[in-house]
Amino acid sequence: MCGIVGFTGNRQAAPILLDGLSKLEYRGYDSAGIAVRDGENETEVIKEKGKLRVLAEMTNNGQAVKGCCGIGHTRWATHGEPSAVNAHPHASDDGNVIAVHNGIIENYQELREKLIKNGYSFHSQTDTEVAVKLVDYYYKKYAPLPIEAIARAMVRIRGSYALCVMFKDYPGEIYCARKDSPMIIGIADGETYVASDVPAILKYTRNVYYIGNMEIAKLEKGAVTFFNIDSEVIDKKLTEIKWDAESAEKGGYEHFMLKEIHEQPKVIRDTINSVVTDGLVHFDTVSLTDEEIAELEQVYIVACGSAYHVGVDLQYVIESLTSLQVRVELASEFRYRDMKLRGKSLVIVISQSGETADTLAALRMSKESGVKTLGIVNVVGSSIAREADNVFYTLAGPEISVATTKAYSTQLVAGYLLALQFAKARGEIADERYDELLAEINTIPEKVERILEDKERIQWYSNKLVNVADSFFIGRGIDYAIGMEGSLKLKEISYIHSEAYAAGELKHGPISLIENGTIVISVVTQDRLIEKTVSNMVEVKSRGAKLMAVTTAGNYFLEDTAEFTCYVPKIEPLFAGSLSVIPLQLLSYYVSIGKGYDVDKPRNLAKSVTVE
Ligand code: G6P
C-alpha cells in the first residue's frame, strides 16, 4: 500500500516520477505528491488529494516542475484521512529533510511526543511526518550526515517502512531505507531509480538491486551505495528483471483486469512448463527431499484474500491425493493463535506480492517454531520469497489490477503440481494415475482459452446484475472454494453485497435472506456432489431466488433450475476450480464496468497490503 518512486539523473525528474507512480497506482490512489529539486535550488513540493491525474493536471504532466532529482508518492491512507496535508512528500519546517514513506510506524505517538518536547510542531496526522522530523532531529543533533541520521532514526522506529529522503545539503542525492516494506533500486547509464515495485521503472531499466531489511542506500546519478545499520558499506548483487515492459502495460485492453484475465492461458502454461519436463514434475527451488515429504503429517496453508481461497481449494486437492492432513488458515488469524505447530509439518504460504504483512508474519512465526516452510510467490526477490525455506515461483508476471485473476490461477495450478508431487514422493499414487492427472493439468490453458472465447454470453448476463443489491454464491467442496473467490471478486469491484456459503449451510441461516429476485450463483462441477447442490438450488428457487449456474459441459439438466447456465469444458473434477473461476472473474468485471466503476482501482482497496 502506498507507492513510492524516486529518480536522480540528467533528465527532468517530474515526468518520470508521474509515469512511475501511474504504474504504482494499484498500491494506493487517494492522494499523490512529488518533490523535485533543480540543482541547488529550493525543492518544490506539489501534492493533492485524489487520483494521480489530479497531480498530473496540476503540473502539466510534470512539465511545469523543473529539476533532475525527485521523489514521488501515491497514497493509501492509514494515519489520517486522504487530504492534501496528509499527502506525501512531508518536510521538516525548514525544508531540511523531505521524504516519502510506505508502511506504518507503530510507535509514532511516542516519537511525536519526544519531538514536540524538542520544539517540533506537526501539521498532518501522518506517521510519516514523525519519521521525517525524527531524521531531521538526529541530523541536527549529531554530525550532519544523512546515513547516520537515518540509521539513528531506524533504531528508534518500530514498524515497517520504505523511506526515500532528500536532504537540503545534498542536492542530486536520494537516501533510502527499508524495513518490511518493498523497495527496489534500478540503475541505468547516468541514472538511478527507486520504486516500491518493478513496473514503475521497467520502462527505463531492468537492472535492479534489492535493498534488504534494515539497510540504507545512497542514490546518486548512475550510482548507488548500500550501508548496514552501522553505516558500513555493504556489497549487493545486481539482478536482471526478466519481465518485459509490455507486460506491465495494458496492451490494447481497456483495463488491466481484462488483460490479465486474458493472459491466464499463457501464464498458467508458463507456470506448468517451469516445473514439468518429460512428463514429470521437478522442483529446482523446492529443496524438500522425497524422504522429507514422505515423513510429513500435516500441511498448513496460510494466506490472505484470494490467495487464501486458493488454499481452500488446494485443501481438497491435497487431501484427496495424499494422506496428509491439511489446514487452511487466514494469515491474520494464524499469526496470533496460541497454537503448537506439529513437528512433521509443512507451512505453505501463498502470496502474489510476497509482501503481505500478515502472511510474512505467519511465515516468520512458522520458521521460529522450527517447521519447514514453502512459499508460492509471484514477485521474485520479495520478502516471502527470500525468507521461505523453499519457493515455488508462479510465473504470472506483473499483476496490476487490484482484483487478482492471473496470479490466483497460477497459484492454483502450482498447488495442483505440488499435490501431485507430494502424492508421488509419498508413494500414494499409481504411476498411471499420476500420468493421467498431469495430462489433465496440461489441458487447463487450452480449456481456459475456450472459456474466454465465450465471454460475450457472460457479458450479456452481467447486465442483469447491475442493479442487484445482494448475492450469494453456493457450492460444495471445491465448488465452495471457487464460490468464495467469485463472491470476493464481485463485491470488491462492483460493491454488490455478496456472501459465499457452503451449499449445505444455507439452511442454517442465509436462506432466511432469500426473497424474490435475490441472486444466487451456484458452482456445480463436482460430479459426486451435483445432486446435493441442485437440491439446495431448488430450495432457494422456490423462495424466489434467481439462479445462475457454472457447471461442466454435459450437465444440461441444470437449465431446468437456473435462469442462466454457463458451461466450462470437462476436466478431472479435482482441477475444475481452474476453469469454473474464469466465468466468475468475467462476470464481476462486466458488472463493475456496467456500473461505471474504476475496475482496476476499487475504492478502499490496495493490491499489496503491507499493513496489519
Ligand atoms: C489484497 C489483494 C488481493 C490479494 C490479497 C493477498 O487484498 O487485493 O487480490 O489476494 O491482498 O495478497 P498477496 O499479495 O499476499 O497474494
Catalytic residue among 168, 179, 259, 607: 607
Atom of ligand 1 nearest to the CA of 303: 15
Evaluate whether 3-247 and 250-442 have a shared fold.
no
Nearest protein Cα to ligand 1, atom 3 = 305
Nearest protein Cα to ligand 1, atom 1 = 607
State residue 30's pLDDT score.
85
State residue 235's pLDDT score.
95
3-state class (DSSP) for residue 349: strand
> Fold for domain 3-247?
Glutamine Phosphoribosylpyrophosphate, subunit 1, domain 1 (3.60.20)
| Domain 453-598 architecture | 3-Layer(aba) Sandwich (3.40)
Lining residues, ligand 1, CB within 6 Å: 304-307, 351-353, 356, 359, 402, 404, 605, 607-609
Mutate-to-test residue for ligand 1 from 410, 609, 611, highest number of ligand atoms within 8 A of CB: 609
Confirm whether 69 is a catalytic residue: no
Q: How many CA atoms lie within 13 A of 42 on its CB side?
A: 6
Confirm whether 304 is a catalytic residue: no
> Distance, CA 92 to ligand 1 centroid (Å)?
34
Weakly modelled stretches of the chain, pLDDT under 70: 1, 244-248, 608-612
Contacts with 396 (C-beta within 8 Å, 6 or more apart), sequence order:
263, 267, 271, 352, 378, 406, 407, 409, 410
State residue 247's pLDDT score.
65
Atom of ligand 1 nearest to the CA of 403: 9
Check if the beta carbon of residue 213 is closer than 8 Å to that of residue 179: yes
The owner of cell 518429460 is 278
Q: List the chain domain ranges.
A: 3-247, 250-442, 453-598
State residue 606's pLDDT score.
72
> Distance, CA 353 to ligand 1 centroid (Å)?
7
State residue 205's pLDDT score.
95
> Distance, CA 608 to ligand 1 centroid (Å)?
6
3-state secondary structure 360-403: HHHHHHHHHCCCEEEEEECCCCCHHHHHCCEEEECCCCCCCCCC
State residue 145's pLDDT score.
95
Residue 2's Cα: distance from chain center in Å?
A: 13
> Fold for domain 250-442?
Rossmann fold (3.40.50)
3-state class (DSSP) for residue 31: strand
State residue 172's pLDDT score.
97
State residue 248's pLDDT score.
66
pTM for the predicted model, two decimal places: 0.75
